[in-house]
Chain A
Amino acid sequence: MKKFFQWKKVVSLSLASLMLALGAGETVQASSLPYDTYNYDYREYIHYTPAAYAPSGSIKGESLTYNGESLGKFTTPQDLCEDAEGNVYVADTGNNRIVVLSPDMKKVKNVITTFDNNGQEDSFNQPYGVCVSERGRLYVADSQNRRVVILEKDGTFVGTVQDPVSESLEDGYVFTPLKVTVDYADRVYVIAQNMFEGIMVFENSGKFSSFIGTINVEISVWEKFWKRIATKEERSKQQLYIPTEFTGIDIDPDGFVYATNIDATGVQGVRRLNPKGEDVIKKGENENVGGDLQIDGSTDYAGPSQFTDVVYRENGIYTCLDRRRGRLFTYDYEGNLLYVFGGLGTQKGTFHMPVAVEDLGDKIVVLDATRAEIMTFSVTEYGRLINEAVALRYDGDESEAVSLWQRVLELDENNELANTGIGKAYLTAGEYKLALKYLELGMNRDYYSIAFRRYRNELLIDNASYFLTGILVLVVAYQVFKRVKGKKKGKKEEGGLLNG
């Protein structure tokens, strides 16, 4: 017997080594990514995932030509955006120009440096933000000229937005627009420097209408207590509690404004403002749309993520750019973190000072101000599957999304969204046992509970005859037992009496 086992061991060992030898023939792909790709699970643990987007090159100003001449380096470019045809507009802030690139970003279509402002030649001074409206007009936040310039696509001047007049603005207020976006009705949303009251909204006539999305300052009881006991002199030296400014802005086709701000607590770095100006973002399972969840530490690299820009993509998906660690966080419309990629560094595909992000179909591009480059990231199989599955769920086709989620699971076994998606589909299909399995893996307690109740009821109904028979048998057995015992007791008592 012992020998047999030894023989078995030898065979299994040799088989294993054979398989190893065969496996060595395949090219093993080491991760060539310059950054970590991960996600946070229900318990806020990091779990590493395949990359959703992989770096696919970068575009530098000096490698482009325009009218036969080199375009020259970008100088601290600050913003970029895409129009309906896919052309990319780059606000080359330091060079006071707007560069228009073709959709593949290999050719320069136009460079706007000057325009005809009612007969006078006019130019930009530090154009900081750029945006193309649905009508195809170009809006440039011309920061040091204190105005937003509106141009047609070919560069002809349309008008400006400047000198906002309102009671709520201080006297001598200097309007310094940094970021700009436009909704379907040509209302202009501007993030201005040192404007803590929110995003400035202008009518399509250029008249200032209101602020939206004011971020309220939250003062803790402890801070209030210290404030109360401090003297006037001490108070004057204390730091002021002022709300944070917005940093980046984008708009979805329905007119909801997505705006990022730097949140010191790392809970909410992005807002979704409805036309009334209320924040209607959903924060997902972890109650967080603020980037990284594990932010402990005392180095520069630790601390909450600092979102500097956001891009609304499609089907409720939006991506935020974190400048602290150079990561891109993508959320779905429920606020679930879909995937994370990107990082700071000096390698290809990493950032030094990322400032703006834009979505070009199957590519995501990030503008780096210090490197003066546009980094492109192309979607991988993993990212594409998630994007498509979320899109299907957004449209309400959860059952169609199942095959996609299953392929996501093949790539990333612990993906909670995929498990939940499959579980929900099984739930609607009436496969409660499988639904229970997947919903538990997806940590979705609500749907698990529903599936469990249905499963339990099904079990009860299916086995009702057994249960009822069982109860009947128990009752009868109890009665019989009672009688028999009663008789025995009676006998004993009789015996006792006789003996006594």
Chain B
Amino acid sequence: MAKYFSKEKWKYLFYTISHPMDGYYWIRHAERGSVPIAILMVVLFSIGFTVNRLLSSFVVNDIDPRGVDSLYELIGVLVFYLLLCVSNWSVTCLMNGEGRMKDIAIAIGYGMTPIGVMFYVATLVSQFIADEEQAFYGILLGVGIAYGVIMILIGIMQVHNYTLGKTLITLFLTFIAMLIIIFIVLLISNMLGMVMTFFRSVYTEIIFRT
């Protein structure tokens, strides 16, 4: 455990956020990232998302608290994360990507950190703003999200040793791969359900005949 959460790994997270190009390079080549920290950051992001929706001030918050379910959102974000990693990995495997599953997980997880942090910061700031100052709140969130997206982009670019154009293409393909995966999962679950019903009806038939 200590190996994953050592002080160096934590420090390196902050180094990656401030120097994404360099940081991601050494994650790929010198094992300086940590998957558990990346997952922790995704969880942090998810909690931040919920916190922002529930606790930001009435001035900026138009969300019905009855529609917010933190556990559901956590599961949703984690599943999305897993899906993104798997589909990116499967696409980049075919496109000469150098990154391993581990590197992709770290690239995306670390990239989500600024977004997550900004959710908390914006929530805090929202408690002190009134009407016209709403723009600050929007800028805070916008900057966080933009930085996070850029980080994820750079991360994927660096761990696979791609050019920017190729990264964008792979990201588009990743999106399609995600849809395909979702489709197949739905198909399989549907099929399994049918098989289950078949066996269940066979069972009831036997029960009734004997």
- The answer to the question of A440 belonging to the interface, with a C-beta cut-off of 8 Å to chain B, is yes
Interface bin, chain A = 10 to 19
Taking a contact as CB atoms under 8 Å apart, the answer to whether B64 and A452 are in contact is no
Tell me which residues across on chain B come within 8 A of A452, comparing CB atoms. 57, 59, 130
Taking a contact as CB atoms under 8 Å apart, the answer to whether A449 and B64 are in contact is no
Interface bin, chain B = under 10
CB distance from A250 to the nearest CB of B (A): 36
Could you tell me which residues of chain B, from 48 to 86, have a CB within 8 Å of some CB in chain A? 57-59, 62, 64
How many angstroms from the CA of A440 to the CA of B58 in the assembled complex?
7
Closest residue to B58 on the A side, CB-wise? A440
Tell me which residues across on chain A come within 8 A of B64, comparing CB atoms. 43
CB distance from A172 to the nearest CB of B (A): 55
- The answer to the question of A456 belonging to the interface, with a C-beta cut-off of 8 Å to chain B, is yes
Taking a contact as CB atoms under 8 Å apart, the answer to whether A449 and B128 are in contact is no
Tell me which residues across on chain B come within 8 A of A456, comparing CB atoms. 128, 130
- The answer to the question of A453 belonging to the interface, with a C-beta cut-off of 8 Å to chain B, is yes
Taking a contact as CB atoms under 8 Å apart, the answer to whether B59 and A448 are in contact is yes
Taking a contact as CB atoms under 8 Å apart, the answer to whether A446 and B131 are in contact is yes
CB distance from A446 to the nearest CB of B (A): 7
Closest residue to B64 on the A side, CB-wise? A43
Tell me which residues across on chain A come within 8 A of B58, comparing CB atoms. 440, 445, 448
How many angstroms from the CA of A450 to the CA of B131 in the assembled complex?
7
How many angstroms from the CA of A450 to the CA of B57 in the assembled complex?
14
How many angstroms from the CA of A448 to the CA of B57 in the assembled complex?
11
Tell me which residues across on chain B come within 8 A of A448, comparing CB atoms. 58-59
Tell me which residues across on chain A come within 8 A of B59, comparing CB atoms. 445, 448-449, 452
Could you tell me which residues of chain B, from 92 to 145, have a CB within 8 Å of some CB in chain A? 128, 130-131
How many angstroms from the CA of A452 to the CA of B61 in the assembled complex?
14
Tell me which residues across on chain B come within 8 A of A445, comparing CB atoms. 58-59, 62
CB distance from A432 to the nearest CB of B (A): 11
How many angstroms from the CA of A440 to the CA of B62 in the assembled complex?
11
Closest residue to B128 on the A side, CB-wise? A456
Interface string of A18-54 (1 = CB under 8 A from B): 0000000000000000000000000100000000000
How many angstroms from the CA of A450 to the CA of B133 in the assembled complex?
11
Tell me which residues across on chain B come within 8 A of A446, comparing CB atoms. 131
Interface centre among B57, B62, B64, B130 (most CB of A within 10 A): B130
CB distance from A8 to the nearest CB of B (A): 36
Taking a contact as CB atoms under 8 Å apart, the answer to whether B128 and A453 are in contact is no
How many angstroms from the CA of A456 to the CA of B128 in the assembled complex?
8
Interface centre among A440, A450, A452 (most CB of B within 10 A): A452
Closest residue to A457 on the B side, CB-wise? B130
How many angstroms from the CA of A446 to the CA of B130 in the assembled complex?
9
Tell me which residues across on chain A come within 8 A of B128, comparing CB atoms. 456
Interface string of A436-478 (1 = CB under 8 A from B): 0000100001101110110010000000000000000000000
How many angstroms from the CA of A456 to the CA of B131 in the assembled complex?
12
Could you tell me which residues of chain B, from 177 to 210, have a CB within 8 Å of some CB in chain A? none
Closest residue to B130 on the A side, CB-wise? A453
Closest residue to B65 on the A side, CB-wise? A43
How many angstroms from the CA of A43 to the CA of B66 in the assembled complex?
10
How many angstroms from the CA of A446 to the CA of B59 in the assembled complex?
8
CB distance from A416 to the nearest CB of B (A): 14
Tell me which residues across on chain B come within 8 A of A453, comparing CB atoms. 130-131
Interface string of B33-49 (1 = CB under 8 A from A): 00000000000000000
Tell me which residues across on chain B come within 8 A of A43, comparing CB atoms. 64
How many angstroms from the CA of A301 to the CA of B57 in the assembled complex?
40
Could you tell me which residues of chain A, from 340 to 368, have a CB within 8 Å of some CB in chain B? none
Tell me which residues across on chain A come within 8 A of B130, comparing CB atoms. 449-450, 452-453, 456
How many angstroms from the CA of A408 to the CA of B58 in the assembled complex?
24
Closest residue to B63 on the A side, CB-wise? A43
How many angstroms from the CA of A448 to the CA of B59 in the assembled complex?
7
Closest residue to B61 on the A side, CB-wise? A445
Interface string of B138-156 (1 = CB under 8 A from A): 0000000000000000000
How many angstroms from the CA of A452 to the CA of B130 in the assembled complex?
6
Q: List 10 A-B contacts (CB under 8 A).
A: A43-B64, A445-B58, A445-B59, A448-B59, A449-B59, A449-B131, A450-B130, A452-B57, A456-B128, A456-B130
Q: Across chains A and B, which 4 residue pairs bring their CB atoms closest together, nearest first?
A: A453-B130, A449-B131, A452-B130, A449-B59
Q: Which residues of B contact A (CB under 8 A)?
A: 57-59, 62, 64, 128, 130-131
Additional pairs, 7, CB under 8 Å, beyond known A449-B59, A450-B130, A452-B130:
A440-B58, A445-B59, A449-B130, A452-B59, A453-B130, A453-B131, A456-B128
